[in-house]
Each structure stands twice: as structure tokens, then as C-alpha cells.
Amino acid sequence: MTPLLSVRDLCVGFGARPEDNQVLHSVSFDLEAGETLAIVGESGSGKSVTAMAVNRLVDFGGGAILGGSINFVEADGTVSNLAEAEEAALECIRGRQIGMIFQEPMTSLNPVLTIGTQIEEIFRIHHGMSRSQARAAACHALECVRIPDAERRLTYAPHQLSGGMLQRVMIAIALAANPRLLIADEPTTALDVTIQAQIVGLLTEMQRETGTGLIFITHDIGLVAGFANRVLVMREGVAVEQGALDAVLDNPQHAYTRHLLKAVPQFSDGKSVRSDMKRDQADLQDRALAVDGLTVRFPVRAGLLRHQTGNVHAVEGISFDLYRGETLGIMGESGSGKSTAARAILDLVKPTRGEIHTARTVRDGATRPVQAVFQNPNASLNPRLTVVQLLAEPLIAMGHKIDRKAHHRMGSLLDRVGLPSNSLQRYPHEFSGGQRQRLCIARSLMLSPSILVLDEAVSSLDVSVQAHVLDLLVDLQREFGLAYLFVTHDMAVVEKIAHRIAVIYAGTIVEIGRAADVLATPKHSYTRQLISAVPSIHRRQCEFPVDTRDVPSLVRPLGWEPQLAPWVSSGDDHRFRAEVSGDVS
Amino acid sequence: MHYPLKRLLVFPLVMFGVSVFVFIAIRMVPGDAITAMLGTESGLLTPAQREALRAYFGLDQNWIIQFWHWLTGVVQGDLGLSTTFGKPVLRVILTHFPLTLELAILSMLIALGIGLPAGIFAAMRKDSAADLAVRVIVMIGQSTPNFVVGLLLIFVLSVGFGILPQMGTFVPFSEDPLRNLGQMILPALTLGTAFAAAVIRISRSAMLDILCEDYIRTARSKGIPRRRVIWCHALPNALIPVVTLSGVEFGYLLGGAVLVEQIFALPGLGRVVLDAILQRDYALVQGSVLFIAFNFMVINLLVDLAYAALDPRIRLDSN
């Protein structure tokens, strides 16, 4: 039997002379109907180009197919070579027979058209339905992807829905015309881990029902372990290895696959936490940071005179302390208030209430005890400043002179974070993503702080780079006795670096304790939900439950004071908030 | 929808600010109204006569009292008396405004009618010969001054081919629409083509940006025909900067196009304001600037409403 899709020796190039700028070299793979193929690779590996070559969207991005064939079995049984198809023929295949889901649901839907218009046009174009028929079909499509209140949501514009909801809308769009092949290009990368689990659950469920072939592109080899049948590993435009899921994961043949499997931070339910910190031996003088009852609220204004009608309760009564040489991992999903808490500690937003004490240990001229490293190194480094100027900024801000000693410190810090000593006169764009983040780390250490706030500091890096930066952070912590406040949504990363973990949900800490305790024996239902959603190469063919509950709104009327649930102690240094049955917070 | 109402409430505040500003600004200009009015004959005035004239026009009082008199008049709909026309300022403005409005509307129709299709066409065929040709025309259009285009048009069409009627005395639209349009078409073309160049440039670049957006890729992945992708998915997004530009341009046009009015001998608002400034006709300058400011505010309000209609992300009520 001929496979649904058979790609042979596919070569793709970009630009005015595509032969000279070839990014895909002889990629071949097959996909049967109802089967899931995972294409795995790091950024720049050509995995997205491969996907977009299949439905020839690559043409619109300045790409050209240089050779090879893409044989696709159409609904009527004829086999067409999409590599040579005309644009008119492709318009009939795209959407109708090949659906596609993209990485960023927020930007992948047209902001000026309603959700309804964007789904209905598929039914009207591909099935010739009337306006009312299309509306009914669109409503049904939204119900299929479990969007509550579908009728009303059809009239919404994309910005009125959350990222997870929008990705469900994208799935509804991609599956609207019952395609025989679905291409999902990093569909969950921009989403939270619990939403990711739901989207994957939804995709696999829809696939079972419709028998669609699925190409799932991802950088996260652990994620596809849960549901893929076959895996294709790509590197620099070459398919280095492919085979059945278990064969590739358990018995990788190619060195790069082995490297990738090793580099991916594996979440192991708290078995591989750090053991280099004995908190009970530390005395109170080693305390670097104490936060007590931190509360941040943002006013909500309305009406003609812009009077305050309520508050966004972003952070509510957070308390914790942090010792020298210790890492506190702050876990939570987008909108949980974890970044707002970090910003309050950095003095970037004004707390409504609560106290933040930092120990002012003056070591070789330290004047600012808290420094920060942010998520996106590209955006955190001014592209017009050289490395010297970037590293001098914190000193200038503190009124220090840029003298020989300062230059000496720059040199030694660059050396320490693993950047070549000739970097000083270079600009940020001359460095790779990982190097730029090292640069940010060096900059944050210029004033010899005692505390570093790392806000998703490794989230935008490729897995192998991520592992190296985490190692560097651990080394620096040991060397300088730094205290880390590590804000992240990634369980595997937090397991690698944290001594203690605080889980934030809807603005409050719901569970806090030693990393091993929190990850191995989570007590709060939200922590359990987070942990069960983490993909891992050890979790094969698992079920991801589809849950349509919304995160509770944090907007409250004026004068509203939350009733925080009481703490329940669960052994030494491990507490969680008591729960009323059926209510997550 | 409270938004337009809220904006209308702000109107009087802005108008007050504008009137203070223009009241002071016109009095900062050297020279006085009496001398400007009478020209060389002003030397023949005795000091007593001069004082009497100043008193007649209320120029002998101090600025604050003058301003107060003028302002109380404005609130009651009386913009004062024009010294040059010897008529109420409001009537002078309303006599000349219809021509200016007609000219502005015609020029906008021409500019958008040529500019939008050409901009979209060029964006769809980026880097082709047609795109290059459009870009060259845009560059010529934007760098050629209005009066050159106007004079060329007159020369080529009227004198060279005799196609279009000579200007002669201006006939209002209400008296003889055909003759009126014949007189207006050349000045409208002059203003319209210049602005069309700007519209082409901005709609082309907006369209090029939009065509690279993720949601256009999504639309293509859905198998939507090329034409629909352009008109239904890309165009509404690309229109937003065009609306901004058009609003500003339309506002300027309603203030009168002095050069073009001069060339084509049209009695529009632009020439009235110019004469008023030269003659130190304080009341007329103040009145027309206030009138122009009012037009601008109405247009800005319409532009904001158009944004909201084009883009659901813009929620006027919360801003």
C-alpha cells in the first residue's frame, strides 16, 4: 500500500539564488494515514522548512524546491507530486486535504476578523456552503475542540481569547475540512505546560477520531514520546536519524540523537535535585533575602473620570526567604504573578503591601544586592552598544568610574562566563543566543550582587545550550555564594537548579518546600496537575486529559480582601495551602 | 458608545486653547491693523483719527479685555467683524468654505482612487518591473511641487489640447454643476496626484509588511484563493496607516490650499486666511483658525471611529 505522504530527496533553498543557499539536503520520509511522525531538531535544523515544503507554503517565504518529490495520496486515490504542483492545484489541496497549525496562536489568526469569519470561510470556499450553513458548521467545529459557549465565541476577535483557546481555534480551522494530513509546527511551544498537555490531548484525540496523518514538529523530544509513532531527527537541514519511536529513544544510532537525548532536561519527579545545600546548617546571617507578605495590585479604572473600580490582584501575600548559595525556584504558569513578584523584588514595580529585606553584604564594592537576568537575551541587550559599554552600564548607573580595575573585572567576568577575551569591542549581534545570555549574566555580576533574579533565563535557549548555561549558573553560584531566585514554568529546568521550590497559582504561593519534597510528593492539587502535565521521554503513549476550565480572574472589586487558605505543614520545611474540595485555589 | 460624546466634551477645551494661542500669536506679528488696512494712506491720518479708528475696532483696549469681548462673542456664535471684508467673519468663512470642501473631497477621491490600487498592485508584484515603475512615479510625484504640476496641467490640457475649459469667473456647484466640475478638475488633480504618491508609498509598504505576517501564512495554509487573501485578510490591516495619513491630509486641505487656489484663481479659504494675515485682519484670522481647528478635531474623531471599525483590538471606550 502506498503511504499517505512519501517525501523523497527533498532539497530546498532560499533567496534569489536558492542553489547557493540550500537549507534542506535530501530529506526523505514516509507517513501512513492515521500515523504520527515527529520531526525533532533545534532551531535552524530545517524542521519547519520541511513542514512548509510539504504544502508548499515555503514558496511564499522566498524558498524554492530544488529537487526531490513529495507524493501525496489525495482523497480520490490519485497520487500527486506536490513538489511540481501548480499554485492553483495547491490552493485546492491546502486547507482541504492538508491542514496546518502554527507555533504562535496569538499572531497566527487575523486580528481584524472574527473567529467565526476565519472558520466559516473554509466551509464556504472548500464546501460551497451558504452563510448560515457555514456558521452552523463553524459552531460545531468549535464545539469539537471543546470551546465552551461556541456560539458566542464565533463573534469574538482573536485578542479576546487566551493563547490556549486560540490554539484550539487553530486546530478547529486546520481540521475544519477533514484534511487527510495535519502538520503541526511547534503547536505548544508558546503555551504553558498544562495547556500544552491539553492541546496534545486534543490533537491525539481528534486524530484517533478522524484517522488523519499527523506531522508534529518540535524541539522537545520528551514531548513527542507521549504520542508519536515515528521520529525523524534533523540537524542543519539533514535528516540524521529516523525510525520507530521506541527504537530512536531507547537505542539511538546517530551521535547527534544521543547528544539531544542527553541534553534535554529530563524531569524525574524530584529524583535528580541538587544535593549541595544543607539549609539546616546555615545560620540566619547567611540569609540574603526575606520577603514578607508581598502584595502587588494594579488598579482597574473605568468611566468618564477614570475612577478606580477594582484591582488586579497580581501578587497576594507572598512570603519566603532565601539564603546565600541557595536557589529558590518559583514555578507558575503565565498570568500567575510570578514575574510580577520578581519585578517587585527588583524594585521595578511598587508593592502595595509587604516587606522585602535584602542583606547588604558589602563585598568588593557591592552596592546593589539584587540584579536580574531576563528571558530574551536579544531584547535585553541594546544592539547599538558594544560589550564594553554594556558591561559598564551598571557601574555608570551606580556612579562608579570606568577605570583600569573596572576593565579588569569585565575581562575576568567574560572569561568566567566562558566568552572569548576579544569580545569586549564586539556588538551583541555577533554572538549566538547562548553567548548573549552569558553576556547578560556577566553584566548582572558586574556589581557583585548577592542575589540574582533569573526570570525565565534559559527558556528561550535551545536544549543543549540551555544545559550549558544551567551548568554555568550552578558553578557561579558555588564560586560567589550567590542566591538565585529562579522564575520558570519549566519543571525539568527547575529540578536541575533549585534547592527549594515555591509554586505560584493565581498570585499566591500554594506550595513551598525542598525541591525533592515538592516534586516527589506534591501536596497541592495544582502542583500535582502541573507535574502530571510535564512530558518526558519516560512517559510513552500516555493519555493527556482534556480540561476546559479557565484560570480564575484576578480582577476584584475595590476593597476586596482575599481570604488566603491556611497553611498545612507536611513535614520539615514543606507547606501547602489547605484546599476546599473541588476548588483549586 | 460613550466615546464620541466624551470626545465632543473635550472640543471646547481644545478650542479655548487654540483661541488663546492664535489671539496672542497674531498680535505678536509686527505692524498694526490700521496701517495694514489703509496702506500708504495711513500716513495721512491724524493721531486723533487713528485713535478713533482703533476705538471703532476695539483695538484700544488691553488684550485681556479684547480677548474677553471676542470670546463672549464666539460663545454666542459671533466671530466678530472682518476689517477687510466689512462683513461678519462667520459669513466670510461660510461663503468660501464650500469651494474648499469640494476641492478637498475631490482631491481625496482622486488620491485614494489612484493610490490604493496602485500601492496594492506594486506590493503584490514586489521587485518586478511594474513595481519599479510605480516606485519611480511615486518618487517623481512626491518630489514635484504642487504649483509645477498645476502649471503643467494647465499648459498641456487647456493650451495644448484645449480639452478643459479655461477658468474664468468661478461658478459654484449649486449654480451649474457641470461647469463647476470643469473648473475644479484641474486643481483637484493637482492636489490629488501629489497626495496619491504618498498613498501609494504607504499602502505599498503597509501591504508588504502585512503579507509577511503569520496570519497571512495561516490564510494561505487554509487554501484561500490569492485574491481573497489580499482583499479580505491583508487589506483591512493595511488600511490603518492609510486612514491615518488621509485624516491628516484631509484636515490640511480643509484649511485651504493656498498655492493651488492662487494658481487656478479659486476664491477658497486658503486665500482668505492668507489675505487676513497680510491685512492684520485679527478677527478673521482668529475666526478662520478656530474654524480650521474645529474641522481638524472632527476629522480626528472620524479617523478614530474608522480605526475602531477596522480593528477590533482598538477599544475606544477604555482609552
For the stretch A193-208, pLDDT in tens is: 888 888 888 888 888 8
Out of A96, A110, A121, name the one closest to residue B215 (CB).
A110
Q: Residues 144..203 of A with a Cβ closer than 8 Å to B: which? A: 157, 159, 170, 173-174, 177
Q: Is residue A421 pLDDT above 90, yes or no?
A: no
DSSP B316: G
Q: How many CB atoms lie within 10 A of CB A489?
A: 21
Residues B60-75: tens digit of each pLDDT = 778 888 888 888 888 8
Q: How many CB atoms lie within 10 A of CB A312?
A: 17
Q: What is the average pLDDT value for chain B, to the nearest integer?
A: 86
pLDDT at B141: 87
User: Shortest Cα distance from B22 to chain A (angstroms)?
Assistant: 30
A65 touches chain B (CB under 8 A): no
Judged on CB neighbours under 10 Å (0-12, 13-18, 19+), A527 is buried
A356-365, A426-435, A563-572: range with highest mean pLDDT? A426-435
User: Shortest Cα distance from B296 to chain A (angstroms)?
Assistant: 23
Would you say B226 and B249 are in contact if contact means Cβ atoms under 8 Å apart? no
Contact B313 A159 (CB under 8 A): yes
Q: Is residue A129 pLDDT above 60, yes or no?
A: yes
Cα atoms in the 13 Å half-sphere on the side-chain side of B168: 10
Would you say A185 and A128 are in contact if contact means Cβ atoms under 8 Å apart? no
Would you say A360 and A440 are in contact if contact means Cβ atoms under 8 Å apart? no
Torsion region of A44: left, alpha or beta (phi above 0 gives left; psi -120 to 50 gives alpha): left
Contact B223 A91 (CB under 8 A): yes
More confident residue, A556 or A368: A556
User: Shortest Cα distance from A174 to chain B (angstroms)?
Assistant: 7
What distance in Å separates the CA atoms of residue A466 and residue A458, rounded to the nearest whole number? Answer: 6
pLDDT at A414: 93
Q: What is the average pLDDT value for chain A, to the nearest integer?
A: 87
Residues A73-93: tens digit of each pLDDT = 988 888 999 999 898 999 989
Q: Is residue A511 pLDDT above 90, yes or no?
A: yes
**Neighboring chain A residues of B220 at a CB cutoff of 8 Å:** 57, 60, 94
pLDDT at B168: 67
Range name among A225-229, A490-494, A537-541 with the lowest pLDDT average: A537-541
Contact A57 B221 (CB under 8 A): yes
**Residue B271, all three cell numbers:** 486665500
Q: Is residue B42 pLDDT above 80, yes or no?
A: no
What distance in Å separates the CA atoms of residue A524 and residue A578, rounded to the nearest whole number? Answer: 8
pLDDT at A304: 62
Q: Is residue B162 pLDDT above 80, yes or no?
A: no
pLDDT at A581: 56
Contact B312 A109 (CB under 8 A): no
Would you say B43 and B34 are in contact if contact means Cβ atoms under 8 Å apart? no
Q: Phi and psi of B180, rounded to 5°? A: -60, -45
What distance in Å separates the CA atoms of residue B258 and residue B274, rounded to the nearest whole number? Answer: 8
pLDDT at A362: 47
- Mean pLDDT on A16-43: 90
Residues B199-218: tens digit of each pLDDT = 999 999 999 999 999 999 99
How many Å is the Cα radius of gyration of chain A?
A: 26
**Residue type at B9?**
L
What distance in Å separates the CA atoms of residue A11 and residue A32, rounded to the nearest whole number? Answer: 22
**Cα-based angle A94, B219, A215 (whole degrees, multiple of 5):** 50
Q: Is residue B169 pLDDT above 60, yes or no?
A: yes
Closest CA to A160 of A117, A100, A113: A113
Contact A112 B310 (CB under 8 A): yes
Range name among A121-125, A564-568, B223-227, B269-273 with the lowest pLDDT average: A564-568
- Mean pLDDT on A525-554: 74
Q: Is residue B24 pLDDT above 90, yes or no?
A: no
**Neighboring chain A residues of B313 at a CB cutoff of 8 Å:** 111-112, 157, 159
- pLDDT above 70 covers a percentage of chain A that reads 93
Q: Taking the model in full, what pTM does it have?
A: 0.79
- Mean pLDDT on A295-323: 84
In chain B, the residue whose alpha carbon lies closest to the alpha carbon of A157 is B312
pLDDT band for position A584 (cuts 50, 70, 90) = very low
| CA B288 remoteness from chain centre | 13
pLDDT at A15: 84
The interface predicted TM-score of the complex, written ipTM, equals 0.78
Residues B95-149: tens digit of each pLDDT = 999 999 999 999 999 999 999 999 999 998 888 899 999 999 999 988 888 778 8
Would you say A318 and A562 are in contact if contact means Cβ atoms under 8 Å apart? no
pLDDT at A360: 63
pLDDT at A551: 59
Out of A92, A104, A173, name the one closest to residue B214 (CB).
A104
